[in-house]
Amino acid sequence: MYGFTARRTAGALLAGGALVAVAACGPLGSSASGEKNGTDGTGAKAAASPSATGGDSALSGAAHAVQALDLVKKAASGVHSAKVESTVSIGTTMSIDYKGAIDWGTGMRGEMTATYTGGAVAEQLKDAGLPPSMVGRYLPDAYYVNMGDAMAAQLGGKHWIKYTYDDFAKLTGGAGSFLKDAVKNNDPVKSVDAALAAPNTANLGADTVRGVPATHYRATLTAQELTGKAAGNLTAADRQALKETLDKSGITTETIDLWVSKDNLPVETSVTATATSGATPGVIKTQTFYSDFGVAVSVKAPSAFDTTDFADLLKQGQQSS
């Protein structure tokens, strides 16, 4: 049995791991709003225009790719929910598999099971007596994670820890505001937004993703672009904080790959960057598959009697130190 310091460390470890993983599901420099952009809520407007997998004979190269991805943004914003399978790897620090369903229409809602499959984080969770798989629930105001029976024994029988998005910001230092937004607005539109901000977005041709015919697009953004146009609505201070974070990690570019179905919906996204310095050097990669767009997603906060607040845990730790 381990004491409060270990509990707090495990909680912070999981929060940081979950945050990095969720943020990695979208580009580092994207801040998508999830607006419907004039669609009728079903993506009908996009379907009536030249499809991402088709083509307008008057357009070619990057111009066609940009137009096609704009249709994808509109379609995905209109449908705004899907089943998700994602694999996140961050050098030797962690590897995580995610599976569940999310709705990004009015703030993040959904439930995902995260399984830590390798890396230092998985070992630390094991040493702390925590299970490798945990259920997380996303609501517009907070993220909840079920830490399992071992942690509940240390938390007065409470299985769930509640992290407000401000808690995430505090845990992540200089880039907290950006990463908080990334967790709150994590959806496939983010990858599309970032690709649209890249000057070199290209159509790589036809492909197949899990049996679904798709068109493959790729964009590469420099660190300057990640903190510029691709950074969306970030304030000047937040852009500077993000720049400092990228500088410290040695990340100079990010590559975004998207595979889009004939319905103008993303069926796979892949985001890759390489950190050459900092606390977690190595290749950072997220591969995400989307299916069953429009699926109904119903999720609610766990019982208050079975939930403890991460902010309260921090206060207890400060008082005991």
Supply the range of the domain harboring residue 271. 4-320
Q: What is the CATH number of the domain that holds 223?
A: 2.50.20.20
Measured distance CA(49)–CA(193) in Å, rounded: 19
User: How many domains does the structure of the chain reveal?
Assistant: 1
- Signed CA dihedral, 198, 95, 25, 13: sign only: negative
Structure confidence by residue, pLDDT tens digits, 258-312: 999 999 999 999 988 888 887 778 888 889 999 999 999 999 999 999 999 988 8
Which helix (DSSP H) or strand (DSSP E) does residue 45 occupy? helix 44-48
Structure confidence by residue, pLDDT tens digits, 77-122: 899 899 999 888 888 888 889 899 999 888 789 999 989 899 888 8
Maximum distance among all Cα pairs of the chain, rounded to whole angstroms: 69
Query: Is 252 in contact with 239 (CB distance < 8 Å)?
Result: no
Q: Residue 8: pLDDT above 90?
A: no
DSSP 25: T
Average pLDDT of the residues of the chain: 76
